[in-house]
Amino acid sequence: MEKIRVAIVGYGNIGKFAVEAVNEAPDMELVGVVRRPSSLSKPIPPELNNITVVSDIDELENVDVALISMPSRLVEETAVQLLNKGISTVDSFDIHSKIVDLRNNLNLIAQDNNSVAIISSGWDPGSDSMIRGIMEFMAPRGVTDTNFGPGMSMGHSVAVKAIEGVVDALSVTIPLGTGIHRRMVYIQIEPESNFDQIKENILKDPYFVNDETHVKLVPNVKDLIDVGHGVLMERKGVSGSTHNQLLKYEMRINNPALTSQIMVASARACLKQNPGSYTLIEIPIIDLIYGDREELIHKLV
């Protein structure tokens, strides 16, 4: 069996777990990890000692799929560069309001370069989106509430870290029910920085403007970090003309580990799609799973 050659672009929380997930996939081969040039001047993390680490993907040969393990605001630029090289991409872009625009922007580029982009391939957006879709066709009329947490939001935390004057940050999502959330943001700041100005910048960031958000100054963010997270999704709706159909889905997870696992499954699916850009709800579930198609049908159906 010819293995799928995978590169990991970025080595933060998701990238570290992506290395493990690719190495555990029987149909994949980890070609290398692409890190910022500034990172290469520092000691290589021990877990990367036997892995090729480069500053540019051009230094790697015959990459089939690149897992973009970078902040959402860097995804589009990185994906465009990779797709133009004919390399398929998978990302975990999590700015919900901009997903359709990203999909459309990458679609023609992927088609022109005979490649595939699977976007927003984490657990939400991503696998939760698929569950919401399943609930929708089970009860076409009704209301679905997605309640996140309690847990660390990687996207929100990274957005805060990017604000000038912030040394480190943690954003914790607290579910209040019916899809409403509170954001608890804990920050360390540079000694001369203005806390009130930083707080204002956080509150007006698109990641936070739609939720109740509290910003707290702490001496050491690392003492607070727990990457656990979760979701409770509930739908109350109507099947045909029958009311009171109650559907529930719940999970408690390690956030970056699950995100990277879904990205790896999406890398497998890349090779089974026509050129273009896709969200997970457009991908056949069986394309994400390793194994013989008929055996999978026998096992799962």
Task: Locate 157 and state its tokens.
Answer: 């935390």
**Would you say 173 is a known binding-site residue?**
yes
The Cα 33–Cα 37 span in angstroms is 12
**Would you say 123 is a known binding-site residue?**
yes
Residue 143's beta-bridge partner residues?
236
**Would you say 181 is a known binding-site residue?**
no
Q: What are phi and psi of 168, to 5 degrees?
A: -155, 155
The Cα 181–Cα 60 span in angstroms is 42
**Would you say 193 is a known binding-site residue?**
no
Instruction: Read off the DSSP letter of residue 54.
Output: E
**Would you say 13 is a known binding-site residue?**
yes
**Would you say 240 is a known binding-site residue?**
no
Instruction: Read off the DSSP letter of residue 3.
Output: P
User: Please, are residues 266 and 288 in contact by the beta-carbon 8 Å criterion?
Assistant: yes
Q: What strand order describes the sheet that includes 276-278? A: 53-54, 28-34, 4-9, 65-68, 88-91, 116-118, 276-278
**Would you say 121 is a known binding-site residue?**
yes
**Would you say 11 is a known binding-site residue?**
yes
**Would you say 92 is a known binding-site residue?**
yes
Q: List the one residue out of 160, 126, 155, 157 whose CA is nearest residue 231.
A: 126
**Would you say 43 is a known binding-site residue?**
no
**Would you say 205 is a known binding-site residue?**
no
**Would you say 51 is a known binding-site residue?**
no
Binding site as annotated, residues: 11-14, 92-94, 121-125, 173, 183, 229, 255
Binding site as annotated, residues for substrate: 173, 183, 229, 255
Binding site as annotated, residues for NADP(+): 11-14, 92-94, 121-125
